Structure 1
Amino acid sequence: MSTTHNTDSMAVYMRDIARYKLLTAEEEIELSKRVHDGDDNARQHMIQTNLRLVVKISRRYLNRGLALADLIEEGNLGLMRAVEKFDAIHGCRFSTYATWWIRQAIERAIMNQSRTIRVPVHVAKELNSVLKHANQLRTLLGREPTEDEIADAIGIPVERVQTLIRTTVTTESADALQYGSDSISIYEVTADEQADAPGDRMETDCRNDMLEQWMEKLTEQEREVVRMRYGLGGFGEVQTLEMIGQHMNVTRERIRQIQVKALKKLRLIVKRDDISLEEIL
């Protein structure tokens, strides 16, 4: 299929999905109830009104081995799953809930693609670890994690994280990308035209509420390290391991160990509390 044909098809698709209006919170609640009652029309309506969300998220994964159309197709599968599992009674907007499912579906497809291009098994496992930790940090921070943050969480050099990321980038685009310790994100993030939408505040508050519930299950020391390391809970700026070590009068390595242990705990908590994880993302 020619590039021109692909471009034309995508343009038609974008025009088609643009005609569906975004749902209000009240409409989400009503449709969610109908979906749980087996109303297929309600299910289809929830899917159609959120197709633009899939496109927006899919664009963040460009140049990682899959074409945009393929990313959207995989993301749509995640969206369908989110519609089936969404429960509006917990107070989060559907877009917050669905984002995790969409990302998970896309990242799983990228991992499968990495296997088709003959990435060694041990490399695929390492890359999967990077993606999992990136998801965990994204949940914790409410933003895309830096390569340094991912490396710290896993306990590997940042150069290794950069190498693993490059394994999923196509040869043609690899020269156009630069990876450094100061890079903002491991993903190509596109502008979000709804970044200042009123609903974002609600979604952020929802995520923060769930995060606080998770953090309560950590020890006081672990909570303090996580909050200082990622600028949470009023600490403002992100602090280095050295800075936190000086504050607590322990070594940098000890702080790193506490951080890794705390993040492992959070990951287990999130895995156990599946509903909370999906709603916070």
Structure 2
Amino acid sequence: MSYALSPKVTPASTALASANPWSLLPPLGNLDAYISAVNRLPMLTLEQEQEFARSLKDNNDLDAAGKLVLSHLRLVVATSRKYLGYGLPHADLIQEGNIGLMKAVKRFDPDQGVRLVSYALHWIKAEMHEYILKNWRMVKVATTKAQRKLFFNLRSMKQGFKDDADVATHRDTLTQDQINSMAKTLNVKREEVIEMEQRMSGHDVLLDPSPSDDGEEAYGPIAYLSDATQEPTQLMESRQRDYLASDGISTALEGLDDRSRRIVEERWLKVNDDGSGGMTLHDLAAEYKVSAERIRQIEVAAMKKMKKVLAAYA
């Protein structure tokens, strides 16, 4: 991008450049007024730019930094217009670009033989790109440097295909010839172009959609993405069950007499090596020389007593 600076120095621009730069800031709250004001701010000559940059570098002169920033605010506005197609607020793009401009001014070295306008453009675009990638989708579509470059180049090239007068129909998806052309131009694989195109064509999906008008529960990703095992109430219930199954039952068994405890253990807690349970009612009845019904009555009484102890633990 070419960005011409005015070489002509007028008395008015000289007076403005030497004034307190922060007093030249336009009023806030009106974007049109801001853009109009920054476009009226004076440009700096090469000599002024070098002088202010050296003053900032050598003496940390904040007034000089302010003049460098103010004289390039129009560059931020001009650059931001190229990114309006992403549906993000123009004012936010300008704000992010201004952050990039201030970073550029802070790092600018006047002895490198390059104008600030060329150096700052990289930083301005970098901040705008970062803002777009973070806010264009809830889930980032590009995370690596290569993916970011592909994202912005692919979008501009796709727009070029749509604007081409030779294209009879405007499709939302790319044709095979267009994919091949993009991959060759951008020096990437066809698969990378296809993957990024799919990411860009996707839309945000509600994890937990609202119920429909007929009262039916809507089915969303939350139904199969959520992990119920890590839900706080589920964790508490699981820990409580584990506690009751170990310490709780042990304490409840200690409150029983020997016969009752053995009957409960044989009937409910014992597991043999072959997977079978313990003794049956008739087996226990034969051992204690009582009826099977009597064993069942002892078992019921013991279970009731244990339940009271476990209820206290719960």
TM-score if structure 1 supplies the norm length? Answer: 0.47
**Greater relative CO, 1 or 2 (CA 8 Å, sep 6+):** 1
Give the structure with higher Rg (CA): 2
TM-score if structure 2 supplies the norm length? Answer: 0.42
